[in-house]
Amino acid sequence: MRRYWKLVRFTVAIIGRTLILVLSLPFRDDRDKTRATHQRRACKVLCEILDLRVSVSGDIPSAGALIASNHLSPLDPLIIASKVDVAFAGKVELLRWPVVGWICRTVGLIGVDRTRRMKTNTLVDAIRARLRNNICVVAFPEGTTSSGESVLPFKTGAFAAVENTPDLSVHPTCIAVDSVKPLAAENGGVDLFAWTDSRSLGEYAWEILSLSNVDLTLKFGDPIVASKDRKLLADYCHKAVCNLHATHDSALQNFNLTAQ
């Protein structure tokens, strides 16, 4: 029954909040900022419904920064957007999904088409436009979700939007699982929260609805000045995210040993 109730609340909240945004946008001069602010408030509510308790480590990026994060699950956008006013760069396929596509278009998702290289300039222009409008843009350079055991290599597409631009910055970011009730992360919490090919999206969603008190840390690293080309930026950022991931795992292990 708990699962069904959470599903109903989540569905009503996300559709209701999207409808409110649709109705309010025509009366706003700066629609990008309106989308980002509304999205943060909505995602905070959605995280509460799903019992996702998000804490922040490090300085939250200032406006107009590229946030490059590891990617654990389809819930990652909710986690980040619950704390920061952002726009997202995500797979263009999402824009074609029923209902999900409508929501993504309303909040202004920047579609990434990795199958067509000619679309790169369009992606770069779209990201730069948001950054120049002082909106942070979130990208998941791994290109897919992972098990959380490590950080996959970064693709360079999103970094092309800021390369060789010293007045812009990239913020390495790591989403880390602290605990999933009743399991500590080292005993399977990450496996429960992360989504891989071992489960269908439906199976994953059904399991997520059964969880409670999922504690996560959103770790922001030091900003990287975007004065290098995209390959170097991707490399520097990947190393920084790997370091955030490693330091969190080490701290979590020490905490668990102390608690025993």
- Structural domains of the chain, with CATH: 2-259 (3.40.1130)
What pLDDT does residue 117 have?
59
Q: Using CA atoms in the order 62, 67, 72, 77, what is the torsion angle rounded to 10 degrees?
A: 60
Distance CA 188, CA 178 (A): 11
Q: Mean pLDDT, to the nearest integer, of 1-9? A: 91
Average pLDDT over residues 227-246: 96
Give the tens place of pLDDT for each residue, 73-122.
999 999 999 999 999 988 888 888 889 999 999 999 988 776 665 456 78
Q: Three-state SS string across 58-87, please? A: CCCCCCCCEEEECCCCCCHHHHHHCCCCEE
Cite the beta strand spans of the chain per DSSP E: 52-57, 66-69, 86-91, 110-112, 136-139, 169-181, 183-184, 212-220, 224-225
For residue 190, what is the DSSP state? H
Could you read off the pLDDT of 16-31 as tens digits, one per residue?
Answer: 999 999 999 998 888 9
Give the pLDDT band of residue 152 (cuts 50, 70, 90): very high
**Quick one: pLDDT at residue 259?**
43
Which pLDDT belongs to residue 252?
A: 53
And the tokens for 225? 């000045």
The mean pLDDT value for 167-182 works out to 91
What's the pLDDT at 92?
A: 85
Residue 249 banded pLDDT, cuts 50, 70, 90: low
What's the pLDDT at 80? 98
Model confidence at 256: pLDDT above 60? no
Give pLDDT, residue 258: 44
State percent of the chain over pLDDT 90. Answer: 68
Cα(192)–Cα(189) distance, integer angstroms: 5
Is the Cα dihedral 51, 57, 62, 64 positive or negative?
A: negative
More confident residue, 116 or 245: 245
177 has a pLDDT exceeding 60: yes
